[in-house]
Amino acid sequence: MKKPVRVAVTGAAGQIGYSLLFRIASGEMLGKDQPVILQLLELPMDKAQAALKGVIMELEDCAFPLL
């Protein structure tokens, strides 16, 4: 297996970041055999952080093998 690539996504709980995360985690962006480490960045505001926690839970629920 390849060495994981670290990808930082700013605005991860926003509309664009959200749609991008699932493409990265599924292998559509970097390849179906490339493991990734996602670093999700969001503004330090309660609403944004709460949304980010929801995104993290969704990613964990999907159980992407590359993540």
What is the DSSP track for the chain? -PPPEEEEEETTTSHHHHHHHHHHHHTTTT-TT--EEEEEE--SSHHHHHHHHHHHHHHHHHT-TT-
Question: What is the pTM (predicted TM-score) of this model?
Answer: 0.89
Query: Does residue 26 form part of some domain?
Result: yes
Query: Does residue 67 form part of some domain?
Result: no
Which CATH number does the domain housing residue 44 bear?
3.40.50.720
Query: What's the number of domains the chain is made of?
Result: 1
Tell me the two tokens of residue 5: 């690539």
Domain span at 45: 5-62
Q: What is the pLDDT of residues 24-67, one digit of tens each?
A: 999 999 999 999 999 999 999 999 999 999 999 999 999 999 99
CA 40, distance to chain mean position in Å, is 6
